[in-house]
Amino acid sequence: MFDLSKEELLFLVWNYSDIITVAVVSIGVTFFVSKAWNWRREKKGDDQIPGRLGLPFLGETISFLSATNSTRGCYDFVRLRRLWHGKCFKTRIFGKIHVFVPSTEGARRVFANDFVHFNKGYVKSMADAVGEKSLLCVSRDSHKRIRRLLSDPFSMNSLSKFVKEFDNMLRERLKNFEAGKSLVVLDFSMKLTFTAMCKMLLSITDESLLRDIERDCTSISNAMLSFPITIPGTRYYKGIKARKRLMKTFRDIMTRRRSGKESPQDFLQSMIQRDSYPPNEKLDDTEIMDNLLTLIVAGQTTTAAAMMWSVKFLDENKEAQDRLREEQLSIFRNKPEGALVTLEDLNNMSYGSKVVKETLRMSNVLLWFPRVALNDCTIGGFEIKKGWHVNIDATCIHYDPDLFKDPMQFNPSRFDEMQKPYSHIPFGSGPRTCLGMNMAKVTMLVFLHRLTSGYKWTVDDLDTCLEKKAHIPRLRSGCPITLQPLGGGN
C-alpha cells in the first residue's frame, strides 16, 4: 500500500469519488467548523473582512474545485460568496487566505503599488505550469529586465508585420469553409492564434511539430487550476509531464540555432543573438523557455476565447453587428482587391475598437488579478495581513451598474464616453499591465474585419453552459456557427 499524506488522500477523493457527495459533505463540515473558527477570530478581533476560512489548509478548496468542475465556471464560487458575505469577502483556497476586492478604489490601490506593497500571486499549480522564470512569477528586478527584453515582438514595427501575416493566414483558412458548413469558433480561433504565435516566436510551420507543441500546451493549460499533487493520471501530473517534454523541444530548437543549422529571423533568434551580451541585457535559457511557453499559452487561450465571445455577443445584438459590418465594409471597399489589412486600417476602426473593448468587458477572460500583500495594509477600510492573496475582481468591477449602465447589455457605444479610471481593466494596469495587450487587440480587430466584411452567420448552438475545468470562461459548445458569404467575399 502507498503511504499517502492527508493532501494526497484529499486529492484521490476529489478525482475518483462522486463529486456531488464529496462537495455536499465537505461544505457541511466546513460550514459548522468554520462557524466556530470564525467566532473565535471575531472574539479576538483578528480581522474585519466577512467570509469563511474553514479548516486550516483545506478551507473552501473543494467548493472552489467543484465550481471549476461545473458548467457554471469557477467564478460561480465568487458569485455565491458575494451573495452570502457582501462585495468584499475572504476565503481560503489551496491553503492560502484570499480576499476579493471588487472596487475601482481597491484596484487603484493595488495596481499603483505593484512591487512596493504587492507582488504577483498565483496558485501553485499555475506557477508550476508556466515556470519560476516566467514573467508571471519573477521578482521585481527580474520582471523589469525580462519585460524589457520581451518587448520587441510587441513593438509597433513587429505588430505591423504580424497584422499582415495574421490576416493572410485568417483569410486563407476562412476560404476553406464552404457555404453552409459549420465552424466551431473556439476550435478555429485556438488553432489560428496558436499557429500565429508559434510562427512569430519560433518560425515553426511543420504540422507534426505544431501538433506536438499544441498537445503539450493544452495539457499545461489544463493543469493551471488543478490540485498540485503528482499522481499519475491527474491533470497536474499530465501538465508537468507535458511541460518537461516542451522544455526539451525548446532546448533542441535552441541547440540547432546555436549550431548554425537554423537561423530564421524571429523572437527566439533575437534572444540567442544576445548570448555574448552582459547578464542584464540577455535572458538565460530557462528564462527564454519559460517565457516562450507563457507567451504561447497566454496569447492563445485568452485571445481565442475573446474572439469566440465577440461572435456570440454580436449574434445576440444585430444592431451592433450591422454597424460594425458597415464600418468594416467601408474599409474593405476602399482597399485594392486582395490587399491585406494594415495597422493603418486598424487605426481607422473606431467602432471596431469599441466592440473589442465591450467584448473584453463582458467576457472577462481574466476573471480577477491575483496579488500577494508584502506588508499589512488597509484596502477599502478592511485590514489585509501580510501574505494574504488580494484578488482584484475585474468581473465584479466590469458588471458594476454604478460604473456601467445596464452592464448585462452588450453596448459598444458606451465607450463613446470616457470611463472612470480602473473601471475597464481586462489587461490589468500599472507595471504588470499585460505585455500582449496591443497584440490581442489587433488580432481581434483583424478577425472581426474578415468575419463581418466577408460573411454573415447564424449560431447553431445557443447553450450558455461553460466548459468545465477551464481557468478562462469558454462556452462548452465552442460557439458553432454556419457562415454565409456576402456578395463579393473576402
The helix (run of H) or strand (run of E) holding residue 389 is strand 389-392
The answer to whether the annotation marks 74 as part of a ligand binding site is: no
How many Å apart are CA 86 and CA 393, to the nearest integer?
13
How many Å apart are CA 120 and CA 371, to the nearest integer?
4
CB atoms within 10 A of CB 330: 12
DSSP state, residue 179: T
- Strands of the sheet containing 182-184, edge to edge, are 182-184, 480-485, 455-459
CB 131 within 8 A of CB 289: yes
How many Å apart are CA 490 and CA 484, to the nearest integer?
12
Helix 185-202 vs helix 285-316: crossing angle, to nearest 10: 150
SS3 484: strand
Task: Tell me, letter by letter, the H, E, C secondary structure of 415-452.
Answer: HHCCCCCCCCCCCCCHHHCCCCHHHHHHHHHHHHHHHH
- Apex CA 194: angle with CA 188 and CA 196, to 5°? 100
3-state DSSP percent of the chain in helix, strand and coil, to 5 = 55, 10, 35
SS3 218: helix
- Residue 405 — φ and ψ, nearest 5°? -65, 135
How many Å apart are CA 228 and CA 239, to the nearest integer?
10
Tell me how far CA of residue 140 lies from CA of 27, 123, 133, 432, in angstroms: 38, 19, 12, 10
Q: Strand 382-384 and strand 377-379: pairing? A: antiparallel
Residues annotated within a binding site for heme: 434
Residues forming the annotated binding site?
434
